[in-house]
């Protein structure tokens, strides 16, 4: 029964991410956290997100913005290695707390007037060093938590990409990072039987949702796409904040967890 619930949750999350420009990973982190130890969530999640990225590249290959990807990827690869290595030393719950607060801060953008069209040359106004810095941060956070999702959507909006370009370029930027993470997580011993089972379940949901995206995106306006993206960021932040607070409380008061188990 729990696997059915996880599959439905993953399918819903990836379907929403198709409409919002991402966010499935951040939405699933707190959900997977109820079935797996927090340290194993990134490994299971990466199995699904890697599959999602491959399927999106296959569908939207022709609109990938390689000019952005070639600046983003080198530093992102460095960041993902550092982030995965830090799993052995840092408590992800504190990073999730910080990320959740950042995501919730995007609530203000929901009340601003969104752009109705994009400018193809807008990426030229974003300095290369900023793209490289975003790549480093995205890689580090992805390596540590297993997901970045809509965290950097505002960056892609600033680059002036339209709906399918955001989906395609993000997938191209992230797929190599996912492969590196899978290798690093395996080397750290984070893959257990249950982790693999849940990861494959998430992967199946990701493939099914990618097939729907080809038909959904053409009918979504840029303004609605951006507003949906910011909504996904805020929702992801609320879910992540709740999970981070619970994990921090349990880490600092183990008796609380024992009490909850006893009461059940």
Of these ranges, 64-68, 158-162, 218-222, the one predicted with the greatest mean pLDDT is 64-68
- For position 263, what pLDDT does the model report? 42
Mean of pLDDT over the chain: 78
Structure tokens at 225: 């796409």
The pLDDT value given to residue 133: 92
pLDDT in tens, 241-255: 887 788 788 777 655
> How far is it, in rounded angstroms, from Cα 106 to Cα 6?
27
pLDDT at 166: 82
Return the higher-pLDDT residue of 247 and 195: 195
pLDDT at 121: 46
**Nearest-angstrom CA–CA distance, 242 and 110:** 21
User: Burial of 177 by CB count in 10 Å (0-12 exposed, 13-18 middle, 19+ buried)?
Assistant: buried
- The set of residues, in sequence order, having a beta carbon less than 8 Å from that of 208 and lying 6+ positions away, is 11, 14
Yes or no: say if 138 and 148 are a contact pair by the CB < 8 Å rule.
Answer: yes
Q: Mark 222-248 as b/e (b = at least 16 C-beta within 10 Å).
A: beebbbbbbbbbbbbbebbbebbebbe
Mean pLDDT of 172-178: 84
Query: How far is 69 from 156, CA to CA, in rounded Å?
Result: 11
């Amino acid at each position: 029964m729990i696997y059915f619930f996880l599959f439905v949750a993953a399918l819903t999350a990836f379907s929403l991410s198709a409409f919002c420009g991402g966010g499935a990973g951040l939405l699933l982190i707190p959900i997977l956290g109820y079935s797996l130890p927090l340290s194993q969530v990134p490994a299971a999640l990466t199995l699904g997100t890697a599959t999602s990225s491959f399927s999106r590249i296959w569908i939207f290959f022709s609109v990938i913005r390689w000019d952005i990807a070639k600046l983003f990827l080198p530093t992102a690869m460095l960041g993902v290695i550092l982030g995965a290595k830090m799993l052995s030393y840092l408590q992800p719950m504190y990073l999730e707390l910080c990320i959740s607060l950042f995501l919730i801060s995007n609530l203000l953008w929901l009340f601003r007037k969104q752009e109705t069209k994009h400018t193809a040359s807008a990426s030229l106004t974003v300095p290369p060093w900023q793209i490289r810095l975003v790549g480093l941060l995205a890689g580090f956070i992805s390596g540590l938590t297993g997901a970045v999702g809509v965290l950097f959507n505002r960056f892609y909006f600033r680059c002036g990409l339209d709906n399918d370009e955001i989906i395609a370029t993000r997938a191209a930027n992230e797929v190599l990072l996912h492969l590196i993470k899978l290798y690093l997580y395996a080397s750290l011993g984070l893959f257990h039987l249950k982790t693999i089972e849940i990861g494959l379940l998430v992967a199946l949901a990701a493939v099914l949702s990618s097939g729907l995206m080809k038909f959904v995106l053409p009918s979504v306006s840029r303004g609605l796409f951006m507003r949906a993206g910011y909504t996904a960021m805020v929702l992801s932040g609320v879910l992540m904040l709740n999970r981070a607070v619970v994990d921090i409380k349990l880490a600092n008061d183990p008796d609380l967890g024992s009490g909850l188990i006893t009461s059940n």
